[in-house]
Chains A and B, each alone.
Chain A
Amino acid sequence: MSSDERQAPVPEQDEPGTTVAASIAMKHRAGGVIVPITTALLAFLIGGLVVLATGHNPLLAYRDIFNGAGLNWIFHPTTNIANTAAYNLSQTLLQTTTLILCGLAVAFAFRCGMFNIGGQGQYFIGLYVANWLGHSFAGMAPLPHILIAVTGATLAGAAWAGIAGVMKATTGAHEVISTIMLNWIAIWVGEWLFGDGGPLQNSANKTVPISNDIADSAKLPVFWGEKELQGLHVGFFVALAALVVFSLLINRTTLGYEVRAVGFNPDAAAYGGISVRMNLARAMAISGAFAGLAGALDMLGYLYHYGQSDIPVSSVGFLGIAVALLGRNTAVGVLFASFLFGALLFGTTHGLTSNVIAPDLAGNLTYIIQGLVVLFVGADLLVLSIWNARKKLRPPHRPAAKHAEAAA
């Protein structure tokens, strides 16, 4: 040990874990499952204070949101979709499906040390391509049609994110900037596609900026509820399978090993013989594939068509960031976080029947809680870095390497 530990200008290499992924992993070890639960509870608490400030009873408001999300279904389980609770729950799970995949899109890039803010754009690209492919090939057998549309949309999402990945790998362009830019490009591409005279505008009425409906052969089977009533489609199981794929990919494959190594410490990864650039581009593309798949499932599962006016309303890609952060970039965490946000998303909007809380306020509550989660996770990192700085002010309480390093 040596005195330099306590000085301000400690050389960079003395600080293990300088990447975002590394800090998050450190936090993971430090806090386990307690921290994300606390984060969520705290967000709900502050959200409740907002409700209180508007003169409503937060407990009753949360009860109504709980019911609005169909979570009261557990008290009277039934598969009869005519039951309000059952219907609400099916809609919550529909949102959960999308959020799982959008969350994985952010989480996968995180594991490779990158922040994919472009989930929204990648999701849009998936939607567009699924709409195009779903509308084309009418009359094809359902299974191949669905496979073509899903595969095409997933690859398109991968390619879209891959642009940012390749730019990062070749020129070092920061993925945060490039994915935000790509979001805007995706938004305006959609405006053009569905707008007057756009290639995907519906063929029936050339004054309405909405796409055609996809062919029946491309629609995903609904297993709970009715297609006409936006029932829960089999994409839900695809999303659950994606969680398993994510977990296996990260933990049990050489690809995942490379992703984690690059995410934690690119220098050591390169030393190990891993191509850092290739991994950055590839991880970004895999991220985009998850978001593109989300778009495909939404389009083929219940949206069926899309229009200009839908574009600015969608924010599932951004919610995916909160999902990944709250879920600690793990499959299990993403599952729970998606369900939480799925319930909030539906329970505060369409599902809400409440005389306690105004619908506007309820809808905004989702975004307040989303914002608080991101803030707290961010603050968490801040707290952690302050904690680390504090530890640096103390001599080792274990013969830790970084202390040993210093005495050279």
Chain B
Amino acid sequence: MRGIRKEFPGVVANDDVDFDLRRGEVHALLGENGAGKSTLMNILYGLYKPDAGEILLHGKPVSFGSARDAIQTGIGMVHQHFMLIPVMTVAENIVLGIEPRDVIFLDEDEAQARVRKLSEQFGLVVDPSALVSTITVGQEQRVEILKALYRGAEILILDEPTAVLTPQEAAELFGIIRSLTAEGHSIIFISHKLNEVLEIADRITVLRRGRKIETVPREGATEASLARAMVGREVLLRVEKPPGHAGDVLLSVRDLEVVDERGLPKVRGVSFDVRAGEIVGIAGVDGNGQTELVEAITGLGSMSGGTITVAGRTMHAGSPRAMLDAGVGHIPEDRQRRGLVLEFTIAENIALHDYAEPPDAKWGWIFPKRMVQRAARLIKEFDVRGGGPQTPAGGLSGGNQQKVVVAREVARDPKVLVAAQPTRGLDVGAIEFLHRRLVTERDEGRAILLVSLELEEILSLSDRILVIYEGEIAGEHAGEVSEQEIGLEMLGAGKRTEVA
């Protein structure tokens, strides 16, 4: 790809970007959110037409009108969110659209045979006859890769492929990538995780604000150098965290049970404490009860058994209001759905908990000016950029939205702060800010419960780590612990049976 330029109203998404891919290599595309990675790949995959520049394939210029054209020339893409049909089998999903037919009906045996052959060729182990709804996320990803290979892809674009995987699954994926490149396939690996890129890529291209900053071979590249190229300044990758001074127990969860709407247990007898001045991290694969645990502690969800004690107040059932009054602050995992009313102004969003109390309101009457004043102060303190108190929250970038949420929660001076995936979807700069802030809040004497799917985040921030697996605490670690050890517990392998 040479001199690629793509403009959208008001923004240059790609500006004179060169990108080349050699046969059999893994070329990583690295950049912050909005750096232009996806635009570039969408151009390659035929979804956008470039305004300038050309794409050469095997030395010949090509022009794609649609993804179909790109697929036909041997380019395949595995999206971050998989597009599989859950009620169909693995084989049916893979052959979908170009099925082997037995007169008019799908020849299921033939389809399965072809898929089996393909999966053996590349060491991608899947069961062709399994229903997609029954397989794991890691396996779904393999199905997606097989789907692309089945369509004859020589070049595979993987968009943030490890975002949904456990460390073990990620390691397996890297194995697959290596076997694919050994067979002569070329991989474009989109990521913002520096360590992964350094592990798997042969060459690394960094984009920043639509421009190519550099293409470097893996040899010689370091996390620090890549981060600097991505952000444009020095970034503190490791959180500077002095040892904490744990104080009184502020949050105490005992034998907590939560069932979902269908009556299935989601949290099964979980007990733990979080002390003042301590960050306790909850590690686990998505969907193992973290959401339900957080919702119980914040009063958003119901609990079917056990107690939650916040700063001495024991509750058997909470409402959001009761938990707020007890001193629980909450950075929700989905800031757009939960944490903010996007149509509200920043000032109104900052007032979301206290809109009915002085100084925001008295006798049911709201004083918008006071809300604005408070918001202006917090916007300054938390360095929210992209708008003032009267800007709708929906107009801010993700990082700034999250700052608004954090500002609101911290400004209430909570005793317990529950941070659920606080850096999800944020770029390096915003993550750095958030991590520092969490440590600051810890040192202010708050009890912080950090729930994250990013194991690295848990490891770097937590004073103590709990591993949750299928709604139970499967492990607890206070000192140094390896990623592998926790990864095993996350999969239920290291389950501490009968010990606790």
Contact A270 B336 (CB under 8 A): no
Residue of A with least CB distance to B408: A272
B81 to chain A: which residues have CB within 8 Å? 4, 7, 9-11
| A–B pairs, 20, beta carbons within 8 Å | A1-B33, A1-B35, A1-B39, A3-B80, A7-B81, A8-B83, A22-B343, A252-B365, A252-B368, A261-B352, A265-B341, A267-B337, A270-B300, A272-B353, A273-B352, A395-B34, A400-B394, A400-B397, A402-B336, A404-B397
A25 to chain B: which residues have CB within 8 Å? 343
> From residue B151, how far is it (CB to closest CB) to chain A in Å?
17
Give chain A's interface residues, CB within 8 Å of chain B. 1-11, 13-14, 16-17, 22, 25-26, 29, 251-258, 260-261, 264-265, 267-273, 275, 393-408
> From residue B346, how far is it (CB to closest CB) to chain A in Å?
13
Choice from B34, B77, B353, B355 contacting A3 with Cβ under 8 Å: B77
Q: Does B192 contact A (CB under 8 A)?
A: yes
- A3, A265, A398: most-surrounded residue (chain B CB, <10 A): A3
Contact B8 A394 (CB under 8 A): yes
Q: Does B399 contact A (CB under 8 A)?
A: yes
A16 and B393 CA atoms in complex are apart in Å by: 11
Contact B160 A407 (CB under 8 A): yes
Residue of A with least CB distance to B393: A401
8 Å CB contacts to A: which residues of B380-406? 386, 392, 394-401
Q: Does B364 contact A (CB under 8 A)?
A: yes
A5 to chain B: which residues have CB within 8 Å? 38
State how many residues of chain B have any CB contact under 8 Å with chain A: 70
Choice from B35, B39, B298, B366 contacting A254 with Cβ under 8 Å: B366
Q: Does B479 contact A (CB under 8 A)?
A: no
Q: Does B50 contact A (CB under 8 A)?
A: no
Choice from A10, A273, A395 contacting B39 with Cβ under 8 Å: A395
A43 and B309 CA atoms in complex are apart in Å by: 61
A17 to chain B: which residues have CB within 8 Å? 342-343, 394
8 Å CB contacts to A: which residues of B333-360? 334-344, 348, 351-353, 355-356
A256 and B366 CA atoms in complex are apart in Å by: 9
Contact A397 B425 (CB under 8 A): no
A375 and B309 CA atoms in complex are apart in Å by: 54
Residue of B with least CB distance to A12: B337
A394 and B386 CA atoms in complex are apart in Å by: 21
Contact A254 B338 (CB under 8 A): no
Contact B33 A404 (CB under 8 A): yes
Contact A254 to B342, CB < 8 A, known contacts A2-B160, A3-B38: no
Q: Does B28 contact A (CB under 8 A)?
A: no
How would residues 19 to 63 of chain B score, 1 for a CB under 8 Å from any chain A CB and 0 otherwise? 000000000000001111111011000010000000000000000
- A9, A258, A260, A405: most-surrounded residue (chain B CB, <10 A): A405
A408 to chain B: which residues have CB within 8 Å? 160, 163, 421, 424-425
B486 to chain A: which residues have CB within 8 Å? none
Contact B320 A401 (CB under 8 A): no
A257 and B81 CA atoms in complex are apart in Å by: 36
Contact B396 A13 (CB under 8 A): no
Give chain B's interface residues, CB within 8 Å of chain A. 8-11, 13, 33-39, 41-42, 47, 77, 79-81, 83, 159-160, 163, 190, 192, 298, 300, 319-321, 324, 330, 332, 334-344, 348, 351-353, 355-356, 361, 364-366, 368, 386, 392, 394-401, 421, 424-427
A241 and B399 CA atoms in complex are apart in Å by: 44
> From residue A172, how far is it (CB to closest CB) to chain B in Å?
12
B361 to chain A: which residues have CB within 8 Å? 254, 257
Contact A2 to B342, CB < 8 A, known contacts A273-B324, A401-B398: no
B41 to chain A: which residues have CB within 8 Å? 3
A38 and B150 CA atoms in complex are apart in Å by: 52
Contact A404 B34 (CB under 8 A): yes
Contact B401 A401 (CB under 8 A): yes
Choice from B35, B37, B319, B398 contacting A405 with Cβ under 8 Å: B398
Choice from B11, B160, B338, B427 contacting A271 with Cβ under 8 Å: B338
> From residue B80, how far is it (CB to closest CB) to chain A in Å?
5
> From residue A244, how far is it (CB to closest CB) to chain B in Å?
15
A264 and B37 CA atoms in complex are apart in Å by: 32
Choice from B10, B321, B341, B426 contacting A264 with Cβ under 8 Å: B341
Contact B300 A271 (CB under 8 A): yes
A9 and B81 CA atoms in complex are apart in Å by: 8
> From residue A211, how far is it (CB to closest CB) to chain B in Å?
39
> From residue B227, how far is it (CB to closest CB) to chain A in Å?
16
A256 to chain B: which residues have CB within 8 Å? 366
A116 and B335 CA atoms in complex are apart in Å by: 30
A8 to chain B: which residues have CB within 8 Å? 83
Given A4-B81, A9-B81, A264-B344; 6 other pairs, CB 8 A cutoff: A17-B394, A271-B298, A272-B355, A401-B335, A404-B33, A405-B425
> From residue B380, how far is it (CB to closest CB) to chain A in Å?
20
Residue of B with least CB distance to A400: B397
Contact A398 B10 (CB under 8 A): yes
Choice from B190, B320, B336, B386 contacting A14 with Cβ under 8 Å: B336
A271 and B318 CA atoms in complex are apart in Å by: 12
Contact A257 to B160, CB < 8 A, known contacts A4-B79, A401-B396, A408-B425: no
A270 and B323 CA atoms in complex are apart in Å by: 12
Residue of A with least CB distance to B397: A399
> From residue A271, how far is it (CB to closest CB) to chain B in Å?
5
> From residue B235, how far is it (CB to closest CB) to chain A in Å?
17
- B8, B34, B300, B364: most-surrounded residue (chain A CB, <10 A): B34
Contact A271 B332 (CB under 8 A): yes
A256 and B321 CA atoms in complex are apart in Å by: 18
Contact B320 A404 (CB under 8 A): no
Contact A13 B424 (CB under 8 A): no
Contact A271 to B425, CB < 8 A, known contacts A253-B366, A394-B8, A395-B39: no
Contact A271 B10 (CB under 8 A): no
A24 and B99 CA atoms in complex are apart in Å by: 44
B424 to chain A: which residues have CB within 8 Å? 405, 408
Contact A16 to B336, CB < 8 A, known contacts A9-B81, A406-B80: yes
A264 to chain B: which residues have CB within 8 Å? 341-344
Residue of B with least CB distance to A271: B338
> From residue B62, how far is it (CB to closest CB) to chain A in Å?
20
- Report, nearest first, the 10 A-B pairs whose CB atoms are least far apart: A404-B398, A399-B397, A272-B352, A273-B321, A408-B425, A405-B425, A16-B342, A397-B11, A254-B356, A401-B398
Residue of A with least CB distance to B164: A408
B192 to chain A: which residues have CB within 8 Å? 407
